[in-house]
A and B are shown apart, each in its own frame.
Chain A
Amino acid sequence: MRRGFVLSGWLLAAVLIDLTMVPRTTGGDEPAANFLRRLGRFHGPSINSRSHESVRSAFREVVSAASDSTFRVLVEGTQVALGTVVRSDGLVLTKASELDGDVVCADRTGKRWPASVVGLSPDHDLALLKLETANLSAVEWAAAENPPQVGAWLATAGSSADPRAIGIVSALPRRIAMPQAVLGIQLQATREGAEVVFVIGDSSASQARMQIGDIVVRVGAVEVNTPDEVSRAIQSHLPGDRVTLAVRRNGNPTTITATLGSRQHLGNQAQSEIMESLGGPLSKRRAGFPSVLQHDTVLRPRDCGGPVVDLDGRVVGINIARVSRVASYAIPSQEITAVLPELLRGKYAVPAATIDQVTGRP
């Protein structure tokens, strides 16, 4: 616990600096106002910026084929992801964790088809969708023996002629470990059950106002009686998951909703969240992949699931997550072509209960 303490000490100092540095608005604030105005100029797209439309349009012919294979994936009429047509008879890959309800796919002309989930790879966060149609244009995968090198241009197809976004390969494919979810409490087995004996400052437990003395009786749908059972139940989730806990507080049943943190940022959660999301929203599921190609394309979470191509127009991967201010991840083509037959055979099609959890479908 010593480390946690040191961290919160620093944190306090940081917060103080933070508060004193807000540009003062009373008296003689002309320089601050100028500064705001000047900075405001950065917000608009500059002709000099890397991803200005004048640069993106140079990629037009690069994405022309891939755009035909890029579908919008909608849940309740809202785009939640993009999809990649992998076979002409209506098979589309997309990002599984965004599918929270009935799924509809739309091609670039706006034509829509209802979609059903026929395969799921939780490791890759990929879902295979089936559309009742034929004659779709399937993507052309890049040659396995010629994977993109660091510094190679990449373009993410969208539904218009220009790419949705562009970037370069930042790092070669590597595994991304699944981070451990933590609540930020210490528990003790007592006659009452799993009793909270310590709540770590700036953790998901403290944000959810858990208190010393709370007895945890349920985590999500799982009944728990011992500290071990609580940890196991927590660790079956991912950082960022919202979990409802049933606790007994002074004998009264109480419900607590906590957004789980990651072990890496324990005791430092609020600051980490601010830092990570500087510059835009991130995908909920953004870690725990067997192999990803890291690139510096600026994507919105709902731009994931679609194909990313090299300058030859070949698909080198499927975008799977917006990860931080500096990174997006794509599952490399080799990985996808290896897992696709398994998905088609239904090997990765998981039991209905699990599909239910991920997609909201029966």
Chain B
Amino acid sequence: MVNNGSLRRVRLIRALWIGSTLGLMLVSLDCPPLRAGEDVGLEEVAPRPVTTRKVSSTSVTARPVTAASLDAIFAGATPVSVSDLRAMQQQIQQTTKKIIPCTVGVRVGHAHGSGVIVNKEGYVLTAAHVAGKPGEEAVLILHDGRHLRGETLGIHRTLDAGMVRITEGPGNSQAWPHAPLGTSAKLTPGQWCLATGHPGGYQEGREPVLRVGRVLSMKGQSVITTDCTLIGGDSGGPLFDVNGRVIGIHSRIGNPLNVNLHVPIDSYRTDWPRLASGEAWGHTPDVQPYIGVRGEKDATTAKIARVTPDSPAARCGIQAGDTIVRFNAQDVSDFASLKNFVNDQQPGTRVQLQIRRGEVLMRVELEIGDLRS
């Protein structure tokens, strides 16, 4: 059933706005990476039980919505009456008032995206493909149109997680408006959520744009799928639970309206120290970093059994029998750790390796290659 039409449909397209006029480009078609040489299958998303509230025919008549039943609805039970809808609306509107001021437009060079302020010091979560790289100047645009100076901090390219910081002070208020972090580990299909951002990029006279939808699936730590519709410019914007806690960051979309993907918030919490310190790691999903070596079977060191001809390793003179002992400033304990180091690099990055050949230690520099190009 793999025909061109369905192939086109499944290409997950990450949108990044470029150019002062918001011309846009399609940056990556984000199929999950297939690691060559390893048979990495895709984890199956286990179908989750659907939570529906039992609806008897009598329950359709007007009845007050208790806090407990509103919680049940927002957790995934189906609203059955106008009073259910009214209770939902009241909560959604109350939360909207809190989350709009925390949502920002993010401009880094030609990239136009969105973000969310998550502490009073002005740290902003966004997507890695919006932040671009650490240490760049950024402009952050508040909901009321105020433009603020900022800088990009760390990026985790594999997950598409990025961090930016407002470098101006908040003035008299002494704290930036900010949204609390929620948790993404326990999200379940059917749960209601809110998305904000700047579709098409920040537009004067338009506050961050609200969308409401539901969680459709969770894939481990790597991605949340919802039917909160997203488009270019929303990248980096926040996904909230109905209480206004950030549960994800908008990352990419597929053609169907119900393929809107968000980076789960838990990974930001785990990666916080690295992101805040301005580290860049991982690789974008459209590439597969490699250097072109195979390890010796059962070796306890990163001893090279074979070098792929015309690979980055071959070009810098690495030979079978060499042992790689250091990768940049870090010790390489075995072949698995070497693989991890390579996997954390974007192709095109230059790295220093230290190699032991017999009794001789050598230093070589090589450029990480891309197995997919």
Which residues of A come within 8 Å of B, CB atoms?
Answer: 3, 6-7, 10-11, 13-14, 17-18, 20-23, 25, 29-40, 42-43, 46-52, 54-55, 58-59, 61-62, 149-153, 167-172, 174-175, 263-268, 271-272, 274-276, 278-280, 294, 296, 298, 311, 324-327
Contacts and interface: CB of A to CB of B under 8 A. Distances in A.
A217 to B, nearest CB: 31
A32 B34 contact: yes
A7 B14 CA distance: 17
Contacts of B230: 325-326
Contacts of A21: 11, 28-31, 286, 372
9 contacts: A3-B19, A3-B20, A18-B29, A36-B2, A36-B6, A265-B24, A271-B26, A311-B82, A326-B199
B61 to A, nearest CB: 11
Interface string B20-50: 1111111111111010000011101100001
Nearest to B13: A278
A288 to B, nearest CB: 15
A294 B85 contact: no
B196 to A, nearest CB: 9
A268 B23 contact: yes
A275 B189 contact: no
Interface stretch (B134-142, B202-210, B296-304, B358-366): B202-210
Nearest to B35: A31
Contacts of B100: 150
B19 A6 contact: yes
Interface of B: 1-2, 6-7, 9-11, 13, 15, 18-32, 34, 40-42, 44-45, 50, 52, 76, 78-82, 84-86, 88-89, 92-93, 95-96, 100, 189-190, 192, 199-200, 205-207, 209-216, 225, 227, 229-232, 234, 253-259, 286, 372-373
A168 B216 CA distance: 19
Contacts of B93: 149-152
Contact of A48 (B26, B216, B256, B286): B216
Contacts of A325: 229-231, 253, 257
Given A170-B209, A171-B209, A325-B229, A32 B257 contact: no
A40 B26 CA distance: 22
Contacts of B85: 58-59, 62, 153, 311
A7 B231 contact: no
B368 to A, nearest CB: 17
B259 A39 contact: yes
A35 B215 contact: no
A50 B214 contact: yes
A264 B231 contact: no
